[in-house]
């Protein structure tokens, strides 16, 4: 089996395992996608989904968010981590009002020009809000893709570049979710469930039960 054939076999297996994989954050438009994704950094989708209903109720538009202050927003989002998130979200909204006529930009360059928006967040917004092919690499995608052998890289940036070559462009957005689902459910950072993994025959770094117990 060639490297390309193996990559495609891995993708097919992931699709079979997670046919309904998709965003687990709750949002209904590009603005909500951006805010939820910014809040999710070093937090969990479950926690973000607990706070966003109140955020979107009281700040339903970019203009509403731009008109508030970080101090007012902070109590809404404090449980999602860093205080800087409130500052970044308000400033990003102000940037959107001032430089993008109140519309969330739909390009990587535009999104990453916003306060607090890095490449990963921008790629998630492009894929989930606008349907633009993008390969967002979060901690799950990084870990799982390198374990499976879809990538062999020590950095997020290199992993993204390698995945964009290994995965057909029309599958980038779906593959992002497949890898996240697999990382959360099976290929966990600690104690991966290798013995029951549906990809163990294709995995570049399968862990035996003996090895797993030895690492505990």
CA atoms within 13 A on the CB side of 111: 26
138 is catalytic: yes
Cα 67 to Cα 70: distance, rounded to the nearest angstrom:
10
Say if CB 89 and CB 65 are below 8 A apart: yes
Long-range interactions of 89-95: CB distance < 8 A, separation 24+: 89/35, 89/38, 89/39, 89/65, 89/116, 90/65, 90/66, 91/115, 91/116, 92/34, 92/38, 92/116, 92/117, 93/62, 93/63, 93/65, 93/66, 94/66
3 is catalytic: no
The helix/strand/coil state of 182 is helix
Cα 210 to Cα 214: distance, rounded to the nearest angstrom:
6
Q: Which of 120, 169, 200, 210 is catalytic?
A: 120
- Which DSSP state fits 191? S
Q: Which of 12, 85, 101, 138 is catalytic?
A: 138
Catalytic annotation, residues: 120, 138
């Amino acid at each position: 089996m060639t490297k390309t054939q193996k990559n495609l076999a891995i993708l097919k297996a992931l699709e079979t395992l997670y046919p309904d994989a998709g965003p687990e954050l709750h949002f209904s438009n590009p603005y909500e996608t951006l805010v939820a994704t910014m809040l999710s950094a070093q937090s969990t989708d479950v926690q973000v989904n607990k706070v966003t209903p109140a955020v979107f109720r009281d700040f339903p538009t970019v203009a509403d968010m731009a008109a508030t202050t970080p101090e007012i927003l902070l109590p809404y989002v404090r449980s999602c981590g860093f205080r800087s998130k409130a500052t970044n979200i308000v400033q990003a909204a102000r940037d959107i009002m001032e430089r993008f006529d109140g519309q969330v930009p739909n390009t990587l360059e535009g999104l990453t020009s916003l306060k607090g928006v890095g490449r990963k967040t921008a790629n998630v917004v492009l894929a989930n809000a606008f349907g633009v092919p993008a390969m967002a690499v979060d901690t799950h995608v990084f870990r799982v893709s390198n374990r499976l052998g879809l990538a062999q890289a020590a950095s997020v940036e290199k992993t993204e570049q390698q995945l964009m070559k290994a995965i057909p462009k029309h599958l980038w957005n779906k593959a992002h979710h497949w890898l996240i689902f697999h990382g959360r459910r099976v290929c966990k950072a600690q104690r991966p469930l290798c013995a029951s993994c549906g990809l163990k025959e294709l995995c570049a770094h399968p862990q035996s039960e003996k090895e797993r117990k030895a690492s505990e």
